[in-house]
Amino acid sequence: MAKGDNLTPTAYIEHHLQNLTFGLHPENGWSFAKNAEQAAEMGFWAIHVDTMAWSIGLGILFLWIFRKAAKMASTGVPGGLQNFVEMMVEFVDNSVKETFHGRSKLIAPLSLTILCWIFLMNLMDLVPVDFLPTLAQKVGVMFGADPSSVYFKVVPTTDINVTLGMSLSVFALIIFYAIRSKGVSGFIAELTLHPFNTPNKFFQVLLIPANFLLEVVTLLARPISLALRLFGNLYAGELIFILIGLLGLWQLPLYFPWAVFHILIIVLQAFIFMMLTIVYLSMATEEH
């Protein structure tokens, strides 16, 4: 919603931070939420339509760009797109070779996908905060929607559901690679016999609860920290853009310096998520 729609600053911020939610409402059935309260009442049976649309769309865009570069690749003088794609592939390949100490055909493509996909999702934060939501509002009004109920967020990584979903996928791979490399018994032994270990069997049994608690906390902290780090940084960046947007036309002197600085955050957070994924999967395949 545009700033000029007679919203208070608080309502303006809350409107920009609310997702377009579709789900099963106790009273209205399957419908779009008209406010934050209705979205909360939908509970588990709700989907953030804007988040899903933008994340899937940007994923398709990433695949299309790289497929186009692969089809255009030649042994002659490479074009700009081919140069960019080759640079990205080489960068990720070197990062995987230096960090991942196991053997897997999945890690490099996974890392490339994570880096480019998260970067594209983060990049949406540089679009002026009122531009796309205002277009969505106009489209909604054309179909008879109440302007105040048209919500539209364009940065998927500011949605905790996206970052947690990605981190839980990485967590599942951590468990898979740990069991594949060490076996079920080795994985269980790693959870119960570390970090405190002793050759005495009696003391080993006594230390199992403490070891298990510490190792499970360490294991669960990985996906949670991955999700919250990405979400927190992008959510804070989006909130600052919204606060700058409250200034109306006076936002321009502040928007561009913050956008330039935020580019570093956008790139850095995509890189950190990729590198930590490689590190965690490498740790899962290593024997202690």
CA 169 to chain centroid, in Å, comes to 11
The phi-psi region of residue 43 (left if phi > 0; otherwise alpha if psi is between -120 and 50; otherwise beta) is: left
Active-site residue set: 225, 229, 233
Whether residue 17 contacts residue 39, with contact meaning beta carbons closer than 8 Å, is answered with no
Q: H or E stretch including 29?
A: strand 29-32
- State how far the Cα of 280 lies from the Cα of 166, in Å rounded to an integer: 14
Distance CA(19)–CA(30), nearest Å, equals: 16
Residues 6+ apart with CB under 8 A from 15: 1, 7, 148, 151
**Residue tagged 């940065």 (tokens):** 155
Residue tagged 């409107």 (tokens): 15
